[in-house]
Amino acid sequence: MPDEIYLTKEGFEKLKKELEFLKGQKRKEIAEALQKARALGDLSENAEYDSAKQAQAINEKRIMELELKLATAKILDDTISSTDKIYIGSSVKLLDITSKEELVYKLVPEDEADFSAGKISVSSPVGKALLGLKKGDIASIKVPVGVLRYKVIDIS
């Protein structure tokens, strides 16, 4: 059995909605496409049929992935918020030591990462380096463009 994954309540609900869509509406759309393609005749040289079968396989694979994730997911409790160290679910205010720019990130599970919204994955290089740090600590993070140095200003 695969390792547990961690999700916020919102992330869990988002995956549940996607699963419902794939099992309901998407399966129905694919079934209709298969039916139309079969009506065109010879299946051995029917590109529409091949395309619909491929879409069906991709859809079923994603359904299996989501069912497995949801079955093994641990929901993070938003009510428990420790501000002594950086944990998954923490919001952190950082000072870029080089540019003196202040940054705010929320550390989230991999499936919920959205850099444009300030949500970084705990499995990313920056996320991994920040986990467990305390206010005042400095993180040196090796990334492809060099080394980032951040000072932890605040944890919430």
What tens digit of pLDDT does each residue of 57-106 get? 999 999 999 999 999 888 877 655 667 889 888 899 999 999 999 999 99
CATH of domain 91-155: 3.10.50.30
What tens digit of pLDDT does each residue of 96-149 get? 999 999 999 999 888 888 889 999 998 888 999 999 999 999 999 988 888 999
What tens digit of pLDDT does each residue of 16-26 get? 999 999 999 99
121 touches 109 (CB < 8 A): yes
Q: Which of these CATH numbers, 3.40.50.1820, 1.10.287.180, 3.40.50.970, 3.20.20.70, describes 5-75?
A: 1.10.287.180
- What 123-126 contacts at long range (C-beta under 8 Å, 24+ apart), as own/partner pairs, is 126/150
